[in-house]
Amino acid sequence: MAQTYLDAILRAHRASAADDERTLDALLDEARACPAVRGFEHSLRDGFSVIAEVKRRSPSKGAIDADLDPVELARAYERGGAAALSVLTDADHFGGSPDDLAAARAAVHIPVLRKDFTVSAADVCDARIMGADAVLLIVAALDDVELSEFHALARELGLDVVVEVHDENELDRAMALDPRIIGVNQRDLVTFAVDTERAVHLAPRIPPGVVRVAESGIGGPDDAEPLVAAGYDAVLVGESLVRAPDRAMAVSALRAVGNGAGR
């Protein structure tokens, strides 16, 4: 059977986690001593929100803007009205780094999601230590024990958690966590193909009160409109914003889709 994008990425991350010689107790002490977070979930509960992503490249698209300045990009996103940032910290597959996250967060006042493949308790601690306000847990990448343990640890450390799903089965697994934020990724992490109907299809299954975030396949306002109509509170957008000639204006145009939608 051919190796998928997800197989390769997870294999690399789990190998790195297995080689990590740091002690969890030391990481926990360092994480617990970090300054207060900014409140990622809270930022998404004030009208239709845009989570704007700092993304250099991807396994499927290659380079998007390999030499981007995370400070300049983060400030443009904030000027455009982004409610929060998402910053890729995976180096090998996305060209990101913890330095990108730290630089972007220091340049703005809005909260930041660490976008990466969390596979260990150390990854959760690292998110807090590098300055993230929220961490991503991908249901497809974790078993139920890992999901429960990492979700509880993140909350203990003050991090908000975006629990990412792709289908009904993953959503059912996610709901066992009593999550505050559900992200529906319209990109299949096996093939990396995008299904723009996925988020709309899953929306009715997400309980009221849970923040709903649609991810991937959002190229502009036309793609955001059905997501607003389906009840999504936010969109997470990367490639189209990074490629936009005026990044602040591109964020503003996405935000405008939610205006007057009865939210």
Strand-pair category, 112-115 with 134-138: parallel
Catalytic residue among 41, 43, 185, 239: 185
61 assigned to active site = no
SS3 28: helix
Set 53, 78, 170, 239: catalytic member: 53
* Per annotation, catalytic residue among 49, 58, 216, 239: 216
Cα–Cα dist 216/159, whole Å: 23
Candidate list 41, 115, 120, 170, residue with the active-site label: 115
| Catalytic (active site) residue 164 | yes
Report helix, strand or coil for 185: strand
Strands (E), the chain: 49-54, 57-58, 62-63, 84-88, 112-115, 134-138, 160-165, 181-185, 211-215, 234-237
CA distances from 74 to 18, 68, 118, 251 (A): 33, 10, 23, 11
Asked about 197 being catalytic, the answer comes back as no
Q: Which one from 41, 49, 55, 120 is the annotated catalytic residue?
A: 55
215 tagged catalytic: yes
148 is catalytic: no
Dihedral of CA atoms 13, 17, 20, 25 in degrees, nearest 10, equals 140
Per the residue annotation, which of 41, 78, 215, 239 is the catalytic one? 215
- Which of 68, 136, 144, 138 minimizes the C-alpha distance to 104? 68
From the list 78, 164, 170, 239, the catalytic residue is 164
Annotated active-site residue 60? The verdict is: no
Catalytic residue numbers read 53, 55, 115, 164, 185, 215-216
